Every structure is written in C-alpha cells, then in structure tokens.
Structure 1
Amino acid sequence: MKNDKIALLPQGYDDLLKDLKARVHKARMSAALAANAELVSLYIDIGKAILERRDAEGWGTKIIERLGNDLRVAFPGIKGFSPRNFRYMRQLAQICAETPILQQVVAKLPWGHTITLVEKLKADNERLWYGLQAIEHGWSRAVLQIQIETGLHERQTQLPKVSNFKKRLPEAQSEMALEVLKDPYIFDFFSVGEKAHERDIERGLVRHITEFLLELGSGFSYVGKQVHLEVAGEDFYLDLLFYHLKLRCYVVIELKAGAFKPEYAGKLNFYCSAVDDMLRHENDNPTIGLLLCKEKNGLLAEYALRDMNKALAVSDYKLTRAIPENLKPSLPTVEDIERELHQEN
C-alpha cells in the first residue's frame, strides 16, 4: 500500500519538497541569527546603562549584583544576568562605543565567541579580524581560542612571507595565495622531540590530519602522503599533497627537519612540474609548492625562489605542546572540513 501511495505522487513533488526544506532551513537560520542579534543588542544596552549609572551616580559592585539578582527573579527563563556576564556587557558596550562596526560582527556570533574576543584580545582591530574569520569559517569557540593563542592574525597578515607568487601567478590568484600562506606554521597537536626526523613529523601530521588541515586553513583538501610519481623511469615521492578548493590547484608540501637549503627549492619546483603534467586537470590552475622548514634565512630563500618557474613559498614551522584534551572534541573531523569546503564552493 505504501508503494502505491508513493507511485501516485504528482510529478515535481520531490523538487517542491526539496525547495520547501531549504526554505524552512533558511528561515530557521534567519530566525536564530535575528534572535542572536537581538540578544547581543540587549546585552550592549544593559552594559551602556550600567556604565552610565556607574559614571554618573557612582554605582558600585554590590548595586550591580543586586540588579542582576532582581533581573534573574523577574526573568527566570533568561540566563546571562550573572555579575560576571554584567562585566562582559560593560566591556563590550565600551568596546563597541569606540569601534561601532564590532557590534555588527558580534551580532553574528554566539555570546561565548564574543566573550572570547573580549577576554583574550586587547586590540579592537584584532577582535574585528578574528570575529570576521570565525563567521566566514564557522569556527567553534574552542577553535577560535586556538587560533588566538597561536597568533593566527600576526602569522597570516602581518609577518613578511617568502614566496615568488607575485611573479609566477596572476594578480588575483597571487593575492589569494598570499592570504592563505602563514609564517610560521604552528603544529600544536602532537608531541615529537625537537630532533624529530622528517618522516616522524610527516607521520605526526598525517596521524592528526584534522588538526593539520585546521592549521593549514580553509580550502585545503587532503590527497595523500608519500604520493608516488614516476618520471623517466625513476621513482619520486611527494611528502604531502593537497588540493586547494578556492585556489583550484594542487599544493605540494615538502617537510624539512632542518634549516632551509637552496637546493630544496629546485626539487620542489621539479615536483610541481611533474604534478602539473601527471595529475593536473585542464581546468586546474598551476600547482603551488610550499616548503616547511624548521628555520629559514629569508634572504637565502628569496634568492633561491627568484628564478624558479613554479609558484613556490617557504615557511618556518614550530613544534609545540599538544592541544589540551578538553579542546579536542570541538575540532572538526576531516569529513566535516571537506563537507563545509565543498558547500562553500
């Protein structure tokens, strides 16, 4: 009987159902965002009111605590009227008064994210940058904390980067590639000794590929390690191979346990040429190479890259402590990251 009913469904029913599901999902998301924006606006208004009374009438901590208690009694179903939260409301009200655009950003973030921006950062330009990144990439609060603690803003936007991207890539792709690049990379999720060999580091990275993708940044899709290529009857193995979904190209990553040497650039250039010939699809952009070294001399690296015909970059990496256990469950899985990236594209 059930199959008979399905057979009687009119043409176009499945398309309509799919469309309505999408509309319901969009409406629920819009309602959640609107509710969050209203809540943040309320908290900022409360913060402003407390600041005004404190400055004009000298309200102290005990009066503010009493205010919170009375509000909790009046609205038992609403959380957030604790003395600690009142302190964040005051701080946020003051910050948004000095940098009004921040209110538009935090209105799109959960309150816990906003507390992290207020608590962990001192400069409003950094709060704005991390807030926008959290919105764009859908970071959880734990991931936001990790990115702040490892200094992502400085590593991705402020420190000079050694590459030949501007000479070897079209302007738009060069700018995007430079935005993707970090220096140094912080591998903060596995424990190996300071004298670890390249293969030990590589195994550690692949064993924790989720966190490695997180550190590489949005857009990287893992292809494989020790990827075999045969050229002129000889065997070669790429340390790590990725595909970048926004740059639309393969990215070859070579790991070096010691300091940068000029000959590394020539080998990576060769690998990129081989990938272009053997793996690259006709619609893909040219392959990019990234050398990750324990340390580098910037001038030496610049000279080595100057006349290479492939787009190459050199970055340092640091091996530090493991991520705390309580933060690990909040990290996305490889499948989560790749699913999100495919949806973005």
Structure 2
Amino acid sequence: MADNLSIPEDYYDFLRELKGRILQAQVQAVISVNRELVLLYWQIGRDVLTLQQQREWGAKIIDNLAADLQKAFPEMKGFSHRNLKYMRTFAGTYPDEQFVQEVLAQIPWYHNIALMEKLKSSEERLWYARQTLEQGWSRNVLVHQMESGLYRRQGKADTNFSRTLPDAQSELAQQLLKDPYNFDFISLGKEAQKRELENALIERIRDFLVELGVGFAFVGSQYHLEVEGEDFYIDLLFYHLRLRCFVVIDLKVEVFKPEFSGKMSFYVSAVDDLLKHRDDMPTIGIILCKNKKQKIVEYALGDMNKPIGVSTYQLREALPEQLQGSLPTVEQLEADLEAVEIEIDEES
C-alpha cells in the first residue's frame, strides 16, 4: 500500500481527472463499436437489396446467407434470418448512407429496429432518434415514448413563456412541456381527489420523472413555504438542470379555471424570493388540469408577468373489481417482455 504521507497534495485531483478520461474513453469505444456495427448492417442490407433487385435473387437468398454467415462467424451474433431481413429493410428505409452515419449509427441497432417497426413517418423517426441521442433513452423508454405519442405532445402546452422568459430559455422551456401528459402508469377512479393523484405520482416518481423528461430533479411534495406568518404548500416542486430554475407544479382534478393562474403566480413569486439562487433563471409554473378550454387559458395568462404553462393529463382509469383479476399484472407483463427480448437475442 502506498504511503499516504508521500503522496503529493494534487495527486487525488490528478487521479480523479484520469478516471474521468478513462471512463470517457470506454464510453467512446462502446459508441464506436456500435457505430461500425450499424453501418455494417446497413451495408449488408443495401447489398442484399441491390442484388435482389438487379439480379432477381429470390427471397431464399436470405436463408442461405444466414446459414453461411453463422457458419463462417460462429462467435458473432446478428446473422440470423430475422436480423438479415431487418438489415434489408433498414437499407431500404434509409437509402442515404451519410444520414445513417450521422444520426442512426449513433444509437443501438435494436433502437433502430423499434423505430422501423413502430413508425411510418421518416420525420417522426428522425425526431425520436435525435431525442434518444440527447436524452439517452433505453430501448424500452424509446418504445414507451413512441407508443404514448410524445412527438405529437411535446411543446404543445399553452404558455406565456415567449413574453415572460429570455428568448433562449423560453424556447427550451416550451419544448420541454407536453400536452397532454400521459400518466397511464397509475389508475384512479373518476371521483379521485387531488391528494390521491399527488400520492400516486409520488409513489411512482420514477415513471413520473420519465414522463416529465430528462433534467427534472424532484425537490419535494407539499413543499412548505411561509409568507408573513402564513403557511403555504406547493403540490410538487422540481428543479430543472438544463433550464437552471425551479419548476412549480400545481395539480388539479378538474377543468382549468382562471383563478388557478393567480395562485400559481403567487407560488412562482414566492419561490423566486425565498428559494431561488441569484444565479438561477426565473422560476416556471406548470398547472396540470384534467381538461381546459383554449380561450379561457389564453385570457388567464394574457396579463400574467410570471412564466406559467397550462397542460392536461391523461390517466388510466381504475378497472371494475370483477375485471381486475382477469388481466395480467405489471410484473407478469415485464416478465413476458423480458422473455421476448431473450428470445430475440438468442435468434440474433
């Protein structure tokens, strides 16, 4: 063991920096391997497609290739009949090699398969691919975001951000908000109270954070503020790491009402005064309602000088008791999904 007394004072700073560089190199190596693999798959798919079109090779060629490549490279996965068909589809879907190189080769192969299987629009595929790169989505998260229609919900909240925030923050904040938010990971009855919704979201905070998006850090629920001797409680308080600001969320189990914006303006002002650091950006308020009417929201936010957004949310309604026992549990569905993924890996 090294003698700590003989170690220079700046040794541990150097060690910390060195560890960071090694970790970065490991990550880059993984990314590089993935990039080369996806490009190889695209090139194989392109060549198979070309030969089938130009020389009229039949579909049987895929079977022959799968058998011969698996025999030649027994240590390599990925040359199954099924995966070779994916390669051909991949090349047919994206004929531009430069686009594949710059975007799609940056995300894992099974992410690309999910994009092809779930989406028809090239515009949507590109959007989800770039979001995967920016936010580091796993394949399961990517599939969930596609199935929940995130592309159509992102940036759709009604806000006054363009008037109340600096330009750079306004644009980013607008894009981070959704409408509606998809809370299908919880089930509540039609007459659920506000506290039931709040408790359900806190119990499933990991799913809630995934739906909110990357960058939200949970600060607390029923967060206490004292103003001139009176107590006030914020439903949910977050801090956003990219926006560098607090985010106040007020939950409502009813349609939006004009007075909600006044209450939110008070909360935002209080957080700015009591919690906001001098280097933080202005606090943002989000009112989450069961429903809303466009013109009423527009009028309510029109003269507000605090940044406020209004969105709706969708819940998975609780099933009648007689049906609950006949449906698979979350644990059963996860086990089935894991079994399918193992089967795909073995085929590959």
Note the 1:235-274 alignment, pairs <5 A. Answer: 235-274=231-270
Instruction: State the Cα distance separating 1:10 from its structure 2 match.
Output: 4.7
How far apart are the structure 1 equivalents of 2:317 and 2:46?
41
Question: Does the residue aligned with 2:237 lie in a helix, a strand or coil?
Answer: strand
Question: Does the residue aligned with 1:166 lie in a helix, a strand or coil?
Answer: helix
Q: Does 1:275 align with 2:271?
A: yes
Q: Corresponding residue for 2:342?
A: none
Q: Which letter does structure 2 place at the counterpart of 1:131? A: A
Question: Does the residue aligned with 1:303 lie in a helix, a strand or coil?
Answer: helix
Q: Corresponding residue for 2:305?
A: 309
Find the partner of 1:162 among 158, 162, 170. 158
How far apart are the structure 2 equivalents of 1:50 and 1:99?
15
Question: Does the residue aligned with 2:163 lie in a helix, a strand or coil?
Answer: helix
CA RMSD of aligned residues (A): 2.1
Question: Does the residue aligned with 2:312 lie in a helix, a strand or coil?
Answer: strand
Is contact 1:194–1:319 with CA below 8 Å preserved after alignment?
Answer: no
Q: Does 1:41 align with 2:39?
A: yes
How far apart are the structure 1 equivalents of 2:39 and 2:317?
39
How far apart are the structure 2 equivalents of 1:127 and 1:28?
28
Instruction: State the Cα distance separating 1:209 from its structure 2 match.
Output: 0.8
How far apart are the structure 2 equivalents of 1:13 and 1:241?
40
How far apart are the structure 1 equivalents of 2:117 and 2:315?
26
Partner deviation per Cα, 1:242-284 (whole Å, 9 max, x = no partner): 1111111111100110111111111111111111122112222
Is contact 1:99–1:124 with CA below 8 Å preserved after alignment?
Answer: no
Find the partner of 1:175 among 171, 177, 184. 171
Q: Does 1:51 align with 2:49?
A: yes
Kindly, what percent of the aligned residue pairs are identical?
A: 51
Q: Does 1:184 align with 2:173?
A: no
Q: Which letter does structure 1 place at the counterpart of 2:290? A: K
Question: Does the residue aligned with 2:47 lie in a helix, a strand or coil?
Answer: helix
Q: Which letter does structure 2 place at the counterpart of 1:156? A: Q
Note the 1:291-330 alignment, pairs <5 A. Answer: 291-320=287-316, 324-325=330-331
How far apart are the structure 1 equivalents of 2:33 and 2:282?
45
Q: Corresponding residue for 2:115?
A: 117
How far apart are the structure 2 equivalents of 1:261 and 1:243?
26
Question: Does the residue aligned with 1:309 lie in a helix, a strand or coil?
Answer: coil
Q: Which letter does structure 1 place at the counterpart of 2:250? A: E
How far apart are the structure 2 equivalents of 1:207 and 1:182?
21
Is contact 1:291–1:314 with CA below 8 Å preserved after alignment?
Answer: yes
How far apart are the structure 2 equivalents of 1:251 and 1:19?
33
Q: Corresponding residue for 1:214?
A: 210
Instruction: State the Cα distance separating 1:131 from its structure 2 match.
Output: 0.9
Q: Corresponding residue for 2:346?
A: none
Give the direction of change, closer, same or farther, for the CA distance of 1:121–1:6 in structure 2 (3 Å limit).
same
Q: Corresponding residue for 2:124?
A: 126
Unaligned stretches of 5+ residues in structure 2: 319-328, 338-348
Q: Which letter does structure 2 place at the counterpart of 1:66? A: N
Find the partner of 1:62 among 60, 63, 66. 60
Partner deviation per Cα, 1:263-318 (whole Å, 9 max, x = no partner): 11111111111111221122222211110001100111010010112111100100
Give the direction of change, closer, same or farther, for the CA distance of 1:274–1:124 in structure 2 (3 Å limit).
same
- Number of positions where the alignment pairs a residue of Structure 1 with one of Structure 2: 325
How far apart are the structure 2 equivalents of 1:140 and 1:183?
23
Give the direction of change, closer, same or farther, for the CA distance of 1:65–1:194 in structure 2 (3 Å limit).
farther
Question: Does the residue aligned with 1:126 lie in a helix, a strand or coil?
Answer: helix
Find the partner of 1:85 among 75, 83, 86. 83
Partner deviation per Cα, 1:147-202 (whole Å, 9 max, x = no partner): 11111111114x4x311111111111111110111111001212212331111110
Partner deviation per Cα, 1:69-117 (whole Å, 9 max, x = no partner): 1100000011111111111101111122158524422211111111111
Is contact 2:222–2:234 with CA below 8 Å preserved after alignment?
Answer: yes
Question: Does the residue aligned with 1:183 lie in a helix, a strand or coil?
Answer: coil
Q: Which letter does structure 1 place at the counterpart of 2:202? A: V
Q: Which letter does structure 2 place at the counterpart of 1:316? A: T
Is contact 2:221–2:235 with CA below 8 Å preserved after alignment?
Answer: yes
Q: Which moved more, 1:19-28 or 1:270-279?
A: 19-28
How far apart are the structure 2 equivalents of 1:10 and 1:249?
39
Is contact 2:236–2:250 with CA below 8 Å preserved after alignment?
Answer: yes
Unaligned stretches of 5+ residues in structure 1: 331-345
Q: TM-score, normalised by structure 2?
A: 0.88
Is contact 2:190–2:317 with CA below 8 Å preserved after alignment?
Answer: no
